[in-house]
Amino acid sequence: MRLSDDVLLDLMTRFQTEMVKGLGRDTNPTAAVKMLPTFVRSIPDGSEKGDFLALDLGGSKFRVLKVKVSEDGKQNVQMESQFYPTPKEIIHGNATELFDYVADCLEDFMENKNIKHKKLPIGFTFSFPCKQAKLDEGVLLSWTKHFKARGVQETDVVSSLRNALRKHKDVHADVLALVNDTVGTMMTCGYDDQRCEVGVIIGTGTNACYMEEMSHIDLVEGDEGRMCINTEWGAFGDDGSLEDIRTEFDREIDLGSINPGKQLFEKMISGLYLGELVRLILLKMAKEGLLFNGEIATALRTKGKIETKHVAAMEKYKEGLSNTKEILMELGLFPSEEDCVAVQHVSTIVSFRSANLCAAALAAILTRLRENKKLMRLRTTVGMDGTLYKTHPQYAKRLHKVVRRLVPNCDVRFLLSESGSGKGAAMVTAVAYRLASQRKQIDEILASFKLSKENLREVKTKMRAELEYGLKKETQPNATVKMLPTYVCGTPDGTEKGKFLSLDLGGTNFRVLLVKIRSGRRKSVRMYNKIFAIPLEIMQGTGEELFDHIVQCIADFLEYMGIKGARLPLGFTFSFPCRQASIDKGTLVGWTKGFKATDCEGEDVVDMLREAIKRRNEFDLDIVAVVNDTVGTMMTCGYEDPNCEIGLIAGTGSNVCYMEDMKNIEVVEGNEGKMCINTEWGGFGDNGCIDNIRTKYDKEVDEGSLNPGKQRYEKMTSGMYLGEIVRQILIDLTKHGLLFRGQISETLRTRGIFETKFLSQIERSEEFCSNLDWTALVTTALL
């Protein structure tokens, strides 16, 4: 029974392997350690409040509790409880008798507390392995400890309890959560210490739970956030993996139990078995003449005569030896002083082995937590409960010491659950209430972002009307969707060839490209490009500074490519609304996307570029075309697919172009053929036609922008603004106390701090804390 650190480290590795098997969909059916999902997704955050009932079934007594959780600026929990016996005829009877008894006890408690008239939610601590599909459902897999009621296994215990409660017409309570006692322990301690993410019970039985990443739990849909896993570690070794450390005494205990071959790890550890292990060892020693002069008293031959409370008393500091003598004499034995020392030594070895085994399995869980978080060093709290852990004078100290030795890279605080797992069931129920309430409030806040099919049809109809207004000569001046002719009258047909320069201005970066096009059977396009930054002071400086910067970038590129002397045809992608009179002329209607260079609006941007080239006087270029970025997109794709006749940009800004019949374009002469129309749909709604779907957050973002009242549709759809909309929502949620404990940081108050790229990262991330779960919900709703 003496286990070296090497053996314990080996057990750690074995248990980690069993955990992985239990979490896997394909390996779980044959896994000994079942790793049961509990559907508990969050630990308390201190904002829980309300009145709850809790039932605690699983130990030597059954307990009913009334738990009042109040916030009032400080966390406060008030409890009233009553214990009821668990008679053998009930726990070894049938399902109906068991749950009728539980319901009768609950009615008695509610009557005594004068709360039968209240409708209170119940948290049910049920300390046996259950397969859960949701928080208020649990199918019993097998009884453990000394319970063996017939007709309960493979049935939903919550449903059985509800049926029993219905027989009591004046009891108005329903089960909201089914909780294992380890989960209850973790939640109880989690209310006092939010670092608590492990719960361990070492009492009549033994078990542990911990918070696992959803992405690792194959048995439950979803990858976001975490869920508490009830390991059911008592069954570790049921597949034969611990045979090398099990002793003849362990095997004898198992054979004499009510569930032979099951819960083998638990039978080496828990309070239900330690006293019996000591008895069997003492019996063998007496038979071999090593104790009591070889005399074997009736007590040594009687199963259950030595209890775990005796083992604990024998190890009490200073009093242990005298306690040992007293206990042995009460059992009808007449020990010598040497006998007492030997019996005390046996008790020490048996209980020390129990602590060592628990420490090895717990160290495996802590290592998994650290690896899940990708940390070099983990700081965490373990919630502890159970009569053996609490009443044995040496047990806790030994457990703590061995755990810290096995995982030196984990800083562990062991927190005793003062109120038991019953309070934890109430806390699970309180958290479920809080999360449901938060979800409801968040859903209400985000409801304005959820567009019905009817809303979308209305937007479609209004957009169609605005497109028509923009095409007509009479209504075009007042149209919000400007429908600008581009003088691009055809898409590529594959015969294009030659070398061309291209400029692309529209976001925070400016790009210069050399494009080589080959036609014929070996049709190809080769591109060489360089990207240059556009500093904010240039974007919002003077027009002359902006175009001088552009020409400087062109000069750098020409020199880089070694073509400074070549006079190549140039196409200028200018991603801002321009009124064109021909393909090489474009008058800027208005800046968008954060640009605000002066003396540009109302000017021909091609002329401004030519003037800047002249000022530099280093090279000359043949500017053939100015196009919008959507037109550039359509033409690029049109080269690959002749059917392409629409170009759409969803980036820093948002816009679309398409090929329109000339006969419908009243602002341009001619009725033959088609021309590409740059819709400039970002201005859709500037006349108030979509105010019914604009939220208060859209209005706040618009008011804080460089161009209030303009580009309203773009501000609801494009990358320049989505992050800022999320920031406004997060501030509102925090004000409502739904995020960050109601504390708005200075960083969150900073405009533009929440970038749109964060939305992408959040949407694809598998690692959420509870606050990010809500943030992910916000970003999903917004997108």
- Chain segment 680-728, per-residue pLDDT in tens: 999 999 999 999 999 999 999 999 998 999 999 999 999 999 999 999 9
**What's the pLDDT at 72?**
59
First to last CA, the chain: 60
The catalytic residue among 575, 654, 705, 718 is 575
State residue 231 phi and psi, 5-degree precision: -65, -35
**CA neighbor of 680 nearest in space, from 591, 585, 571:** 591
Structure tokens at 15: 């248990």
CA separation for the pair 748, 723 (Å, rounded): 12
Residue 71 CA to residue 46 CA, distance in Å, equals: 7
What is the structure's pLDDT at 191?
84
Predicted confidence band of residue 663 (pLDDT cuts 50, 70, 90): very high
**Read out DSSP for 379-407?**
EEEEEEE-HHHHHSTTHHHHHHHHHHHH-
Copy the structure tokens of residue 694: 């604009």
Q: State the pairing for strand pair 226-230/36-37.
A: antiparallel
**pLDDT tens, 14-72?**
999 999 999 999 999 999 999 999 988 887 777 778 888 989 888 778 899 898 887 65
- Report pLDDT for 140: 93
Question: Considering only 256-270, 452-466, 554-568, which range has the smallest mean pLDDT?
Answer: 554-568
Q: Which of 162, 413, 511, 610 does the annotation list as catalytic?
A: 511
CA distance 408 to 395: 20
Distance CA 263, CA 248 (A): 16
Count Cα atoms within 13 angstroms, Cβ side, for 737: 9
Share of the chain above pLDDT 90, in %: 65
Q: Which residues have a Cβ under 8 Å from the Cβ of 309 and sit 6 or more positions away?
A: 275, 391
Which whole number is the average pLDDT over 631-650? 92
CATH hierarchy code of domain 5-249+357-436: 3.30.420.40
User: Which residues 6+ apart lie within 8 Å of 764 measured at CB?
Assistant: none
Is a pLDDT exceeding 70 seen at residue 777?
Answer: no
Question: Over 50: is that where the pLDDT of 301 sits?
Answer: yes
* Residue appearing with tokens 């969803």: 650
- According to DSSP, the residues that pair with 68 across neighbouring strands are 51, 78
Residue 46 vs residue 120, higher pLDDT = 120
Predicted confidence at residue 740, as pLDDT, reads 83
- Note the pLDDT of residue 769: 42
Both tokens of 20, joined, read 């992985």
Q: What angle do CA 65, 69, 74 make, to 5 degrees?
A: 145
293's CB contacts (< 8 A; 6+ apart) are none
Q: 181, 254, 385, 629: which one is catalytic? A: 629
Residues of the chain with CATH 3.30.420.40: 5-249+357-436, 487-643
Long-range contacts of 640-648 (CB under 8 A, 24+ apart): 642/491, 642/492, 642/493, 642/494, 644/491, 645/491
Per-residue pLDDT band for 771 (boundaries 50, 70, 90) equals: very low
Is the pLDDT score of 767 beyond 70? no
Does residue 558 have a pLDDT over 80? yes
Active site residue 437: no
Q: How far apart are CA 93 and CA 263, in angstroms?
A: 22
Q: What is the pLDDT of residue 770?
A: 43
pTM recorded for the entire structure? 0.63
Active site residue 629: yes
Cβ neighbours of residue 671 under 8 Å, at least 6 residues apart?
662, 663
Q: What was the pLDDT predicted at 399?
A: 97
Mean pLDDT for the stretch of residues 249-266: 94
pLDDT bucket at 783, cuts 50 / 70 / 90: low
Alpha-carbon distance of 632 to 488, in angstroms, equals 10
- pLDDT surpassing 90 at residue 455: yes
CATH topology (fold) of 487-643: Nucleotidyltransferase; domain 5 (3.30.420)
Confidence check: pLDDT of 664 > 60: yes
Compute and round to an integer the Cα radius of gyration of the chain: 37
Q: What confidence category does residue 370 fall into, taking pLDDT thresholds of 50, 70 and 90?
A: very high
Q: For 552, how many CA atoms within 13 A lie in the half-sphere containing its CB?
A: 10
